[in-house]
Chain A
């Protein structure tokens, strides 16, 4: 059933708050707003939730028709290129040569990462790198700090399965190759360690 939200006369973030509530209840919503800021904000909200937005302007009012998109969200769509940085950590050691030194460097690297700006948006752990996100990891505390700062931590599910440590994951979320591929494709910059 279509829902109409009359957000005229309301200032931000009220139109977004009201629309957000309705998005959970219906897949076809019309929001009426009377200013550019509210128009832009409601459009952003709807797109971020997978809705298509059509805008009609009439007598100084904006009528935003929001409808849930289905088909398109099924295809691989790289995330918007926004210049975000993604770290790809494909080993539990930093650099080649000494394994022991490499693990020490990795510990030091992840610790330092929490203290610099700007932070990467995501860190992807692959191959032996996934050993860094499980209970016994020496860098768990540092990863928790990074997680708290809003960095998305992804671990390759196939890799966790291969090492039989899938049930020991202590931080981040288990991801798949579809997710990883589209993240790498959509990143502004990928730094591989």
Chain B
């Protein structure tokens, strides 16, 4: 039997687990870690921390404490690299006003780093990914394409300018976007990560009596991603996402190949996807601009028909 205090579990692929402690307090727990995506250890640390914190922000919670998870080849690699990774993580935690309380490290041939995060939230204010309403506008807060560009980086085929640009985007906390949406009051939210834009939209419509329309022209993405995708620098995850989530895309969609590459691209530390009542959409955008989230735009809306489908125009 399920514990009645478990308010949000993993059955809907939500961003984090939420457990009620009292009538006005619940804890949010989440963990995420991965292998290096950029070569610079300090940036990698920042990105890993921003990525781990994002699940708490997507639910509208406030992160409080964090623990490091570290795998590192201590016998063969310079300890300075590890120090810089951890410094990157710590700097992001400071920015997030979150306290590092400990961690655990093991020896491994391959570097891996991430964090577990604890946050708090009022049980009545939890934002899940499944509560969008017909008529809502959909707002995306970061450009897409980081999966493709990370693949180009891995292949040594990305230029420095692009690397700097995506590193900055991936390391940017979703904190301000989260504060903005809490201030305005929104219906639902998720962060765009491994399933790509379409995959996460699927999670939002699955089992619900609504669908979503996406205006492809409005969706922000890194221009270089298109070029790299044409050169065959697509992560394997894109192919898995296409295979798994394509059945939720309405056949009436018009999705040119490069849009499909970008919409199924798995994101690292992607932006928030916010479902906001239409009449509040403008004030959300104003809040986002005021809180230095300038790339946020409306990319679509929630529609009554077709149900449980995504249409791309």
Closest to A82 in B: B256
Contact check, B256 vs A13: say whether CB atoms are below 8 A apart: no
A176 CA / B288 CA spacing, docked (Å): 43
A20 CA / B232 CA spacing, docked (Å): 10
A151 CA / B222 CA spacing, docked (Å): 11
Instruction: Note all chain B residues with C-beta closer than 8 A to A83.
Output: 216-217, 254, 256, 259
A119 CA / B219 CA spacing, docked (Å): 10
Nearest 6 A/B pairs, CB to CB: A150-B223, A45-B232, A13-B155, A41-B232, A44-B232, A117-B220
A43 CA / B257 CA spacing, docked (Å): 14
Q: Pick the contact of B223: A12, A37, A48, A119 (CB < 8 A).
A: A119
* A binding-site residues for B, Cβ under 8 Å: 11-14, 16-17, 20, 35-37, 40-46, 48, 80-83, 117-119, 121, 148-151, 188
Contact check, B155 vs A17: say whether CB atoms are below 8 A apart: yes
Contact check, A150 vs B224: say whether CB atoms are below 8 A apart: yes
Contact check, B224 vs A17: say whether CB atoms are below 8 A apart: no
Contact check, B236 vs A14: say whether CB atoms are below 8 A apart: no
List the count of A-B residue pairs having beta carbons below 8 Å apart: 81
A119 CA / B220 CA spacing, docked (Å): 9
Contact check, B239 vs A43: say whether CB atoms are below 8 A apart: no
Instruction: Note all chain B residues with C-beta closer than 8 A to A149.
Output: 223
Given contacts A36-B239, A148-B161, contact A16 B223 (CB under 8 A): no
Contact check, B233 vs A37: say whether CB atoms are below 8 A apart: no
20 contacts between A and B (CB under 8 A): A12-B234, A13-B152, A13-B155, A17-B155, A17-B157, A36-B239, A37-B236, A37-B238, A40-B232, A41-B232, A43-B232, A44-B234, A48-B230, A82-B258, A83-B216, A117-B219, A117-B297, A149-B223, A150-B222, A150-B227
